[in-house]
Chains A and B, each alone.
Chain A
Amino acid sequence: MHKRTTRLGAAAVCTALAIGSVAACGSGGADDAGGTDGVTTLTYWNQTADPETIDAVDSILDDFMAENPDIKVEQTRYESDKLSPLVKNAFRSGDTPDLAYVEVSTGRELYEAGLAQSLEDYATEYGWKDRVAEGALAWGTADDGDLFGLGVEAEINGMLWDQTALDELGLTVPTTVDDLANVCQVARANDIVPISSGDNGAGWIWYFYLGLPILNLLGPEDEIAFANHEAGAWTDPDIRAAIETVLVTAKDAGCFIPEMSTLDNNTAISLIESKDALSYFPACTCNLEPIQSASPDNEYYMTTWPEVPGGQGQFAMQGMGSLWVINANSEHQDAVARFLDFMVSKDTGVKLVERAGFAAPVLGIDLQSADVSDLFKQGVEPLTDPDAETGMSIDLKSSGEFNDLMGRLSQEVFSDQITLDEFFDQLQAAWENEG
C-alpha cells in the first residue's frame, strides 16, 4: 500500500512539474530591466564581420555602456545571411531582441508588417534628421514617409583591384568590357584568379553583378527609376546586352571562378589578400580598411564595373548595407533610442570611420580628412563629392521573394542550368509580379 501511494505521489509530482514547465514556456519572461539594480538590459542582434571590425564596434559599445551605466547592451552576432530569417521570426513572435542590425530590405519588411517601431518621434526628439546625411536617411524611410531604420554604414559597392599585381603584369585597371576580357586572359595565363567572388548562399552577389551593368547603361537617374520599378524591363535589349557583359563576355573570358558557388564571401576576400586573385567583387567600402591593413604595402584601387557598350559611362553604386531597427514589442524602446542617438553622434561617427572603416553618414565628419587609409578615402569619394552621381542597389526596393529568385536564377544561368532567354523571361515575369 505504501509502495503504491509512493508511486502515485511520484506520478503526480512528475505531472505537476511537466505542466509547470510547459506553462512556463507560454508565460513569457519577466521584464529584464534588471529592476532591482536599475540597469536596463538591451538585447542586440548584430551581424558577424571581420575581426578588426568586430573589435572596433565592440569598443564603441563599451564606450556607450561606460557613458550610460544604466544600460547594458547584450550583443549576439550571427552570420549576415542567417540573421535576417532569425530576426523576422523573433520579431514576429514578439520576443527578443530589442534591437537588430538587418539588411535594409528586411528592415522595410519588418516595418511594413508592424513589427519594427517607427523612429519618427525619436528622430524629432533627438534631431537625427539634422545630424544624419539625407541620402542615408532615405534608405531607412518607408513609403509612408516614416523613418523605420537608422544606419551608419553607408557604402559604395564596386570592384576592388590589386593595383600592385596589375602593375607587375603590365596591366591597367580595365575601364571597358574589352579591357576586362584582356585582363582576365592575362591573369589566367599567369595562374591568377581574375575576379574573386563568393557566392555560397542564395546568390546575393548577383544583385551587384546585374545592377552595376544596368547602372552604367542607364546612368544613375534612370537606374534608380528602374530599381524603383518605375521604368524599364529586364527583357529590354539594351539591359539584356548590359547584363550579358557579365554572363557572356566576362564569363567566356574566364574572369570568374567557375565554382564560385562553393566560396563564401570571406574566402573570396582572402583570395585577393593572398594575391591569388587580381580583383574582388562586389567590393564594399566597408571591406577596404581590413583588406588594406592585411597588406599595408600593397596598392589597391576601388572602381566600378567597366563601361558597357552604348552606356552612359561608369558610375558608383551607393548603398546602405544594413540598419538598426527597434522591435515594436520591445519594452525598452527609449533605452534603444538612446543607444541609436549615441551611434549617430559626431564623436561616435569619427570612431566608426577611424576604428571600423565605416563611411558614417554623420554630418560634420569629413571622411577625406579622417585618419584612415588612402584606399578608404578613394573608395568613399563618391559619397563625399557633392557632384558625384551614384546609383542604387537593385535589391533594395524589391521583396525578399524577388531577390531570392534573382539570386537563384542567376546561379542557374551561370551554371548553365537554364538558358539566357529563360533567365531574362523568368526574371521579368517575377519583376512584373512585384509591381
Chain B
Amino acid sequence: MGERGLSITSDHVTGAPAGGTGCSGASRALPGRRRAWRRRLTGLLFAAPATALVAVFVLYPVIGTFRISLTDWDGFSPDRTFIGFANYSSMFADSVFWDSVGRNVLYIAGLFVAVTIGFLIAVLLWTRPRGWVVFRTVFLVPEMMGASIVGIIWLQLWQPVSGGLAAIGKALGIPFLASSPLANPQWAIIVLVLTQVWASTGFYVVISLGGLQNIDPNLLDAASVDGASRLQRLWHVVIPQMRPYLALMTMLAGIAGLRAFDLVWIMTAGGPGNATQLLGTSAYTMAFSRNEFGQAGAIAMTIVVLALVFTAITGRSNTRES
C-alpha cells in the first residue's frame, strides 16, 4: 500500500508511465520529458495571470511606496530628493505614530472579539434554532452595508443634539450617552472599536457557519454516545475541527485592524485632534492634508510589514497545528 502510494506520487511528479519502470529505452524518455515540460508550461501559464496581476497591482505599488518613503517628495513637485531612512527615523520619533500603533492594537483586539462573538453566534445558529436563516441574514446586514454606510448611521446616532442615543441618554439620565463619547478623546476610539465589532461580526458568523457545515456529524454523534456534554463537544470536537477557520478569521481580523481607515475617517477623521488617529488615517493625513508623501509612504510601509509579519505568524501557527 505504502509502495503503491509512493509510486503513484512519484509518477505524478515525474510523469513516468504508470506501473512501468520508466527505463524502457531512450526513444520513450524524450516524450516523457516533453510531457513534463508541457505540464510545467501549463502550470506556469495558468499561474501567469495571477502572477501578472499581483506584480502589477500589489508588488509594483508596494515597491513604489517604498521608494517614495525614501524621499522627501511632497506629492506635487517633480523633484524627489533621496533622504534615506530619514522619514522612518522621524516617524519612530513621533509620538502620534506610536499612539496610532497603540490604537491599531486596540482595534485589532476589538476585531478578535468580533471573531469570538461571530463564532459563538455561528455555533448557536448551527443548531438550527427557529428562524436561524433570518438571523444569519440579519447578522450579515452590517457587512453588506459597508463601512461608509455603517459610519454614517452611527455618526447620526451619536449626534449630540439630535441623535437617537443622545435622546435616550437624556431621557434616562445617562450622561455618557447624552454627551456624545465620540467627541471625548478618551472614549472616541472605544466607540469606534465597538462600532467596528458591530459591523464585522456578521462576516465572521458567515465564515464560521461555512466551517461548521464541514464538521463530520458522526464525530459529534460518537462524542454524544461517549457521554460528552454540549460544552465538551464544543471544546473537544468543534473547536479542533474549526481551527483552520479560526486561524483564517484571526488573520483576516488582524489585517483588517491594521488597515482600518474608512469607518474611522467617516466618523471622526482621526479627531478630535489626533485622538482616533490610526496608522491608515495618519498615512492619509500625511499624504493628502500635509503633502508629506515620503512620511506617508513610511507609515504605509510599516502597515505592510506589520501585516506580513502578522500573516506569517498566524500562518505558521496554523501550519503547526495542522
User: Is this pair of chains taken from one and the same complex?
Assistant: yes
Residues of A whose CB lies within 8 Å of any CB of B are: 4, 7-8, 10-12, 14-15, 17-19, 22, 25, 81, 84-85, 88-89, 92, 109-110, 112-115, 193, 199-203, 257-264, 267, 270-271, 274, 276-277, 399-401, 403-405, 408-409, 411-412, 414-418
Question: How near does chain B come to A119, taking the closest CB pair, in angstroms?
Answer: 19
User: Would you call B53 and A18 a contact (CB within 8 A)?
Assistant: yes
Give every chain B residue within 8 A of A260 (Cβ-Cβ). 160, 183
Q: When the two chains form the complex, which single residue of B35, B75, B182, B289 contacts A261, counting CB atoms closer than 8 Å?
A: B182
User: Would you call B48 and A14 a contact (CB within 8 A)?
Assistant: yes
Give every chain A residue within 8 A of B38 (Cβ-Cβ). 4, 8
Q: When the two chains form the complex, which single residue of A92, A193, A412 contacts B272, counting CB atoms closer than 8 Å?
A: A412
Question: Does B185 count as interface, using CB distance less than 8 angstroms?
Answer: yes
User: Would you call A15 and B49 a contact (CB within 8 A)?
Assistant: yes
Give every chain B residue within 8 A of A201 (Cβ-Cβ). 269, 271
Question: Does B288 count as interface, using CB distance less than 8 angstroms?
Answer: yes
User: Would you call B180 and A262 a contact (CB within 8 A)?
Assistant: yes
Give every chain A residue within 8 A of B45 (Cβ-Cβ). 8, 11-12, 14-15
User: Would you call B48 and A271 a contact (CB within 8 A)?
Assistant: no
Show 16 A/B contacts (Cβ-Cβ < 8 Å), sorted by A: A4-B39, A8-B42, A14-B45, A85-B287, A109-B291, A113-B76, A200-B271, A257-B160, A258-B179, A261-B268, A262-B180, A263-B161, A277-B161, A399-B291, A404-B285, A408-B271
Which residues 260-274 of B have a CB within 8 angstroms of A? 268-274
Could you list 17 further interchain pairs (A-B, Cβ under 8 angstroms) beyond the known A22-B53, A200-B155, A264-B155?
Answer: A11-B44, A15-B49, A25-B56, A85-B289, A202-B289, A259-B160, A259-B180, A260-B160, A263-B160, A267-B162, A270-B162, A276-B162, A404-B285, A408-B270, A411-B272, A412-B185, A412-B273
User: Would you call A11 and B42 a contact (CB within 8 A)?
Assistant: yes
Give every chain B residue within 8 A of A270 (Cβ-Cβ). 162
Q: Mark B158-172, 1 if CB is under 8 A from A, else 0.
A: 111110000000000
Give every chain B residue within 8 A of A418 (Cβ-Cβ). 273
User: Would you call A259 and B274 a contact (CB within 8 A)?
Assistant: no
Give every chain B residue within 8 A of A263 (Cβ-Cβ). 159-161
Interface centre among A12, A84, A276 (most CB of B within 10 A): A12
Interchain CA distance A404-B180 in the complex, whole Å: 24
Question: How near does chain B come to A23, taking the closest CB pair, in angstroms?
Answer: 9
- What bracket does the count of chain B residues touching chain A fall in? 35 or more
Q: Mark B279-296, 1 if CB is under 8 A from A, else 0.
A: 000001101111110000
Residues of B whose CB lies within 8 Å of any CB of A are: 35, 38-39, 41-42, 44-46, 48-50, 52-53, 56, 74-78, 155, 158-162, 179-180, 182-185, 268-275, 284-285, 287-292
Question: How near does chain A come to B298, taking the closest CB pair, in angstroms?
Answer: 16
Interchain CA distance A193-B161 in the complex, whole Å: 9
User: Would you call A267 and B159 a contact (CB within 8 A)?
Assistant: yes
Question: How near does chain B come to A47, taking the closest CB pair, in angstroms?
Answer: 16
User: Would you call A259 and B269 a contact (CB within 8 A)?
Assistant: no
User: Would you call A14 and B49 a contact (CB within 8 A)?
Assistant: yes
User: Would you call A88 and B162 a contact (CB within 8 A)?
Assistant: no
Question: How near does chain B come to A70, taking the closest CB pair, in angstroms?
Answer: 33
User: Would you call B273 and A415 a contact (CB within 8 A)?
Assistant: yes
Question: How near does chain B come to A192, taking the closest CB pair, in angstroms?
Answer: 10
Q: When the two chains form the complex, which single residue of A400, A409, A416 contacts B291, counting CB atoms closer than 8 Å?
A: A400
Question: How near does chain A come to B137, taking the closest CB pair, in angstroms?
Answer: 31
Give every chain B residue within 8 A of A258 (Cβ-Cβ). 160, 179, 183
User: Would you call A401 and B161 a contact (CB within 8 A)?
Assistant: no
Question: How near does chain A come to B9, taking the closest CB pair, in angstroms?
Answer: 20
User: Would you call B274 and A400 a contact (CB within 8 A)?
Assistant: no
Given A401-B291, A417-B275, A271-B53 contact (CB < 8 Å) = no
Interchain CA distance A417-B99 in the complex, whole Å: 14
Q: When the two chains form the complex, which single residue of A11, A400, A415 contacts B183, counting CB atoms closer than 8 Å?
A: A415
Interchain CA distance A233-B184 in the complex, whole Å: 30
User: Would you call A262 and B160 a contact (CB within 8 A)?
Assistant: yes
Interchain CA distance A109-B38 in the complex, whole Å: 56
User: Would you call B273 and A401 a contact (CB within 8 A)?
Assistant: no
Interchain CA distance A274-B76 in the complex, whole Å: 44
Interchain CA distance A193-B160 in the complex, whole Å: 11
Interface centre among B35, B162, B183, B185 (most CB of A within 10 A): B183
Q: When the two chains form the complex, which single residue of A12, A259, A404, A409 contacts B179, counting CB atoms closer than 8 Å?
A: A259
Interchain CA distance A399-B158 in the complex, whole Å: 32
Nearest B residue to A401 via CB reads B290
Interchain CA distance A4-B36 in the complex, whole Å: 11
Q: When the two chains form the complex, which single residue of B49, B76, B271 contacts A92, counting CB atoms closer than 8 Å?
A: B76
Question: How near does chain B come to A200, taking the closest CB pair, in angstroms?
Answer: 7
Interface centre among B45, B74, B184, B270 (most CB of A within 10 A): B45
Nearest B residue to A14 via CB reads B49
Give every chain A residue within 8 A of B160 (Cβ-Cβ). 257-260, 262-263
Q: 4 tightest CB-CB pairs across the interface, nearest first?
A: A113-B76, A85-B288, A11-B45, A412-B273
User: Would you call A110 and B76 a contact (CB within 8 A)?
Assistant: yes
Interchain CA distance A276-B289 in the complex, whole Å: 33
Question: How near does chain A come to B239, taking the closest CB pair, in angstroms?
Answer: 40
Interchain CA distance A276-B106 in the complex, whole Å: 37
User: Would you call A276 and B161 a contact (CB within 8 A)?
Assistant: yes
Question: How near does chain A come to B190, taking the closest CB pair, in angstroms?
Answer: 14
Give every chain B residue within 8 A of A193 (Cβ-Cβ). 161
Give every chain B residue within 8 A of A12 (Cβ-Cβ). 45
Nearest A residue to B166 via CB reads A259
Interchain CA distance A303-B78 in the complex, whole Å: 45
Nearest B residue to A79 via CB reads B266
